[in-house]
Amino acid sequence: MAFAFCVLFLQGCAGWQSALDPKGPAAGELAWLIWFFTALCAVVWALVMIALAAPLVMRSRSGDEPLLLDEAAERGKMRVVVSAVGVTTIILIGLTLLSFFANRTLAAIGSEAALTIRVTGHQWWWEVRYEDATPSRILTTANEIHIPAGEPVRLLLTSTDVIHSFWIPSLAGKLDLIPGHMNVLDIKADKPGVYRGQCAEFCGAQHANMGTFIIAEPRPKFDAWLNDQLQPAGAPASGEAKVGADLFLKRPCVMCHRIGGTPAGGTVAPDLTHIASRQTLAAGTLTMSRGNLAAWIADPQGIKPGSHMPVVELSGDELNAVVAYLEGLK
Amino acid sequence: MSSADLTSQRDLPPERKVSAKGDIAPEHDGPRDTGMDDAGLHRWLERTWRTPSGIVGALSSVDHKVIARRYLITAFVFLGLGGLNAVVMRIQLSGPQRGLIGPDLYNQLFTMHGVTMMFLFAVPIVQATGIYLVPLMVGTRNIAFPRLNAFSYWVYVSGGAFAWVSFALNMAPDVGWFAYVPLSGPEFAPGKRADVWAQMITYTEVSSLAVAVATIVTVFKQRAPGMSLDKIPLYVWAMLVTSFVVVFAMPAVMITSTFLILDRLVGTHIFNPAEGGDALLFQHLFWFFGHPEVYIIFLPATGMVSSIIPVFARRPTFGHLGLVLSLIAVGFLSFGLWVHHMFATGLPKLGASFFTASSMMIAIPNGVQIFCWLATLWDGRPVIRTPLLFVFGFFFIFVIGGLTGVMLASVPLDLQVHDTYFVVAHFHYVLIGGSVFPLLGAAYFWFPKVTGRMMSERLGRWHFWLAFIGFNAAFFPMHLVGLWGMPRRVYTYPAELGWGNINLFISAGALLFFLSFVLFTFNLVHGALKGTSAGNNPWDAGTLEWATSSPPPSYNFARIPIVTHIEPLWAEREALPVATGLRVDARELLISTVAEAHPDIREKSAAPSIWPLLAALAVGGTFLYSIFTPWAIVWGAAPIAITLIGWFWPKGDPEDEE
């Protein structure tokens, strides 16, 4: 039945956010587990349905006295029922052991993780911080998590507001981000690629638009990316962008956002130092483009109602200037 | 008609005693049913037991059948409202980025859908069915604590009205039916929406606890003579176990919602991690109730299945003892698996594995039940009528739900599907398959008893197939879309994820499923007005509720039956033996012993009273006021005390003074 649905709605099976399309060892183990459980359960269900349908082809006993029972047949039934319960018990013990050992396999994946990334949930975006012993090598970014492909990575998950849940279906199962708690999730992407995920624990108005991406790259490319991101923001390239930079600092933007290398040091909203290098805006809500940047700044409550990004009154020219500035923050 | 006179030596009215003052104690004994003819008996009992006429009379009713009918109709109305919530949500989700409604309304809708279905429909309707059927099945004249029972209804209605008026005022809770903190806490849920959630829980739990207590006492102490523990019908067993689960589970959620209100209203920091509280504590407390809640809804439905199958299989249930023990086992085990709702919170791995094992274990007693029912059906081709069709639908759907439950019990597997549409599919398979389908079967089955008329069999079959196809079309694909990564509780989704077509299909199925209920409503109304007359026992069933007329008289049974067999009406084809000796001019019940159901004493049952309604208004008003100020508890105490004093004021009944 599941297969029939897959054929019917084919586009869903090859999604980039699917537990059935694993791209890492954890999701691979889990996909195998899902299929095994599904197959076994399907067999059990089919047997129950056959047993349910069997009496429909029997002779009717509606004429008989209801209390008149065949003792021998009752004893036979008791034997069948007891064996069915026995088989059920054995299957359940087997499945319990199977899930126990699968859990151990998952726990072993991150044992030699070299990279540690702290992911903090916010309503409704993800703060991503690359931990490093050298303070100047600590990088803070948002929503998109670059990792080296083929290497295990340790994610430290927590939250400063409500409970969120971090879930990249094609790489691993989900784990909650809980204020006051720190959870550890180890992930590994086998191949370079972009893997989408989104918040899985209801977290308020914009729970639906709290996407995140894991971008797995070959090690050299990842190192280059990390070094680029550690640089402060570049100076505005054009006159318009310079006006935009000034506006950014004079207007409320600066209260919440940080842009490295400028006085803007707000930490309650995503770090914008290299915003233009990201693929999406507003936690996966819009793709990154000049038009979307302008739209998002002009009407955040229309695009993401309830979001904590306020409307900042800007004239048309001012808006263009701010967008020109942000667009240059590669 | 054979009869055993209960007026044994012990039960005779006391000898006239001379009191200290020297005058003779009045003779308190009135006429009894012993030897009285049928017509005279009916006149006496009807005068004693009827609900008083007029509006005040109707509001004072303590007849379990009247209260149960009100409960059933109210719960059905809430089902319709909750269903309409779902329809609006399904239209919004029928395509990517649809703009029918925004997140603010959507989040209220799914919260109200969950809250309504769990607290205002599912629990009340299974308890209401019990309020109607349990006293009839055990052969007594009214439920125990009839005024408490009436009170529970009024509290329930006020809670439901409170929630839905809040919704109409755009202040319905929008934090999900389990309202996790900190999202529902003072910092992230300003306004009164989360308070509405917390206090609505209190209303419904007070009501549900009251019914549970009344049910337990009815089953333990009011069974007809001879109905020893091994002769109690399975439905009554199911209601008994359910009531115990209610008594132990509901306090946990009342503590949860009260702690939440305290955090919000008086600034305690029970759930605030910044001040030494803990957000996870809420989840433990809530699910310690929340998991048994599922069984509170499911166990009564198993009782319905156990009532319907033997009637249409034309034989007693196979493995009666096994079924009873399974019910009790499920009741116990249901308290040991709450953590499987929290696997994604990052619990220690070994601890989580323990809950995998306990969650798997509950499948064993549930398996025993399924196998025993199947074995009951294996005696020959059953009589296929609408109630049995719904039981077949129950098997088809519930077994899928149970098996996906086994999948969710596995910690690693759960981490992929937790909080996705896979879980949405799972619990609708369990709750609709496990409870609503048996309830629909039960509606067709007991409708003739309640109304005296039959529902249309032809429409019933249409209804079944529409519901069955609509349900599976709506919910089966949700398993897949969940595995494809769609989380639950999202008001929209991007087109590029490719979930559009399947969601459109789901929405069409949901609409079909909703239509099946429209057809059902028509069949109910049509049956009540124009259905053919049913007679006492249209299905030739074996349990006591079919021994009396349809609908039953206010006093249920003219003479209290004596039970000699698990299916008394099949064992005594001619006429049931009866017990006599009860007074007919007073509301007297026969109280029997817990294990053997030996007749023990005669006891008065409370007369109609308006005080339960007034007490419920006082309690409801206090709960409502308490979302605004903690002083509500102080000011509310006075009217509650006054109404309770009125309720329990001694009536000068001679027995009270003896």
pLDDT tens, residue by residue, B81-120: 999 999 999 999 999 999 999 999 999 999 999 999 999 9
Closest chain B residue to A285, measured at CA: B494
Q: How many residues does chain A have?
A: 330
- Helix B64-93 crosses helix B123-137 at what angle (to 10 degrees)? 150
Q: Does B353 touch chain A (CB under 8 A)?
A: yes
Residues in chain B within 8 Å Cβ distance of A84:
367, 371
CATH placement of domain B58-217+229-270: 1.20.210.10
Residues in chain A within 8 Å Cβ distance of B364:
85, 88-89, 92
Q: H helices of A56-171, where?
A: 71-108
Q: Do B468 and B393 form a contact (C-beta atoms < 8 A)?
A: yes
Q: How far apart are CA B421 and CA B274, in angstroms?
A: 33
pTM greater than 0.90: yes
Residues in chain A within 8 Å Cβ distance of B177:
none
A99 closest CB neighbour out of B274, B412, B494: B412
B35 pLDDT more than 90: no
Q: How far apart are CA B282 and CA B259, in angstroms?
A: 9
Residues 301-340 on B with a CB inside 8 Å of A are 310, 313-316, 318-319, 322
Q: Does A180 touch chain B (CB under 8 A)?
A: yes
ipTM over 0.85: yes
B12 pLDDT more than 80: no
- Name the superfamily (CATH) of residues A115-230: Cupredoxins -  blue copper proteins (2.60.40.420)
Residues sharing a CB contact under 8 Å with residue B404, sequence separation 6 or more, in sequence order: A41, B422, B425, B426, B429, B479
Residues 133-192 on B with a CB inside 8 Å of A are 175-176, 180, 182-183, 187-188
Q: Does A183 touch chain B (CB under 8 A)?
A: yes
Q: Does A4 touch chain B (CB under 8 A)?
A: no
Q: How many A-B residue pairs are in contact by the CB < 8 A criterion?
A: 297
* CATH architecture assignment, domain A239-327: Sandwich (2.60)
Residue boundaries of the structural domains of chain A: 18-54+77-108, 115-230, 239-327
Residue A330: both structure tokens together: 């590669």
Q: Do B410 and A102 lie within an 8 Å CB cutoff?
A: yes
B381 pLDDT more than 50: yes
Q: Do A286 and A280 form a contact (C-beta atoms < 8 A)?
A: yes
Q: Work out the minimum CA distance from B367 to partner chain A, whole angstroms.
A: 7
Query: Residue B654 has what pLDDT?
Result: 58
Q: Do A209 and A283 form a contact (C-beta atoms < 8 A)?
A: yes
Query: Residue B20 has what pLDDT?
Result: 38
Mutate: best of A40, A74, A85, A195, partner B, most B CBs <10 A = A85
Residues in chain A within 8 Å Cβ distance of B187:
161
Q: Do B551 and B452 form a contact (C-beta atoms < 8 A)?
A: yes
A13 pLDDT more than 90: no
**On the CB side of B102, how many CA atoms lie within 13 Å of its CA?**
9
3-state secondary structure of A157: strand
What is the average pLDDT across B323-327? 97
Q: Does B255 touch chain A (CB under 8 A)?
A: no
Q: Work out the minimum CA distance from A299 to partner chain B, whole angstroms.
A: 15
B122 pLDDT more than 90: yes
Res. B653 pLDDT band, cuts 50 70 90: low
A180: left (phi over 0), alpha (psi -120 to 50) or beta: left
Residues 194-213 on A with a CB inside 8 Å of B are 196-209, 211
Res. B574 pLDDT band, cuts 50 70 90: confident
A136 pLDDT more than 60: yes
Residues 83-102 on B with a CB inside 8 Å of A are 102
- Which range among A57-66, A273-282, B574-583 shows the weakest confidence by mean pLDDT? A57-66
Q: Does B458 touch chain A (CB under 8 A)?
A: no
Residues in chain B within 8 Å Cβ distance of A89:
364
Res. A15 pLDDT band, cuts 50 70 90: low
Q: Do B182 and A174 lie within an 8 Å CB cutoff?
A: no
How many degrees, rounded to 5, is the angle at CA B270 between CA B265 and CA B274?
105
Residues sharing a CB contact under 8 Å with residue A11, sequence separation 6 or more, in sequence order: B498, B501
B18 pLDDT more than 50: no
Residues 265-294 on A with a CB inside 8 Å of B are 284
Query: Residue B210 has what pLDDT?
Result: 97
pLDDT in tens, A289-313: 999 999 999 999 999 999 999 999 9
Query: Residue B652 has what pLDDT?
Result: 67
How many degrees, rounded to 5, is the angle at CA A220 between CA A214 and CA A226?
60
Mutate: best of B101, B282, B314, partner A, most A CBs <10 A = B314
A161 closest CB neighbour out of B182, B280, B492: B182
Taking residue B553's Cβ as centre, other Cβ atoms within 10 Å add up to 16
A108 pLDDT more than 70: yes
Residue boundaries of the structural domains of chain B: 58-217+229-270
B482 versus B2: which is more confidently predicted? B482
B124 pLDDT more than 80: yes
What is the average pLDDT across B140-151? 96
Q: Do A81 and B372 lie within an 8 Å CB cutoff?
A: yes
What is the average pLDDT across A25-29? 93
Task: Annotate B314-366 with three-state secondary structure.
Answer: CCCCCCHHHHHHHHHHHHHHHHHCHHHHCHHHCCCHHHHHHHHHHHHHCHHHH
Q: Work out the minimum CA distance from A180 to partner chain B, whole angstroms.
A: 5
Query: Residue A24 has what pLDDT?
Result: 93
What is the dihedral angle through the alpha carbons of B571, B576, B580, B583, rounded to the nearest 10 degrees? Answer: 120
Q: Do B359 and B340 form a contact (C-beta atoms < 8 A)?
A: yes
Q: Do A143 and A213 form a contact (C-beta atoms < 8 A)?
A: yes
Q: Do A13 and B570 lie within an 8 Å CB cutoff?
A: no
**On the CB side of B594, how many CA atoms lie within 13 Å of its CA?**
4
Q: Does A84 touch chain B (CB under 8 A)?
A: yes
Q: Does A43 touch chain B (CB under 8 A)?
A: no
B268 pLDDT more than 90: yes
Percentage above 90 pLDDT, chain B: 89
B497 closest CB neighbour out of A15, A88, A102: A15
What is the bridge-based pairing of β-strands B599-604 and B588-592?
antiparallel
A171 pLDDT more than 80: yes
Q: Does B3 touch chain A (CB under 8 A)?
A: no
Mutate: best of A17, A165, A307, partner B, most B CBs <10 A = A17
pLDDT in tens, A223-267: 999 999 999 998 998 999 999 999 999 999 999 999 999 999 999
Q: Amino acid identity of B304?
A: M
B343 pLDDT more than 80: yes
Radius of gyration of the CA atoms of chain B, in A: 26
- Which range among A23-37, B18-32, B439-453 shows the weakest confidence by mean pLDDT? B18-32
Q: Work out the minimum CA distance from A135 to partner chain B, whole angstroms.
A: 26
What is the dihedral angle through the alpha carbons of B502, B508, B514, B515, rounded to the nearest 10 degrees? Answer: -160
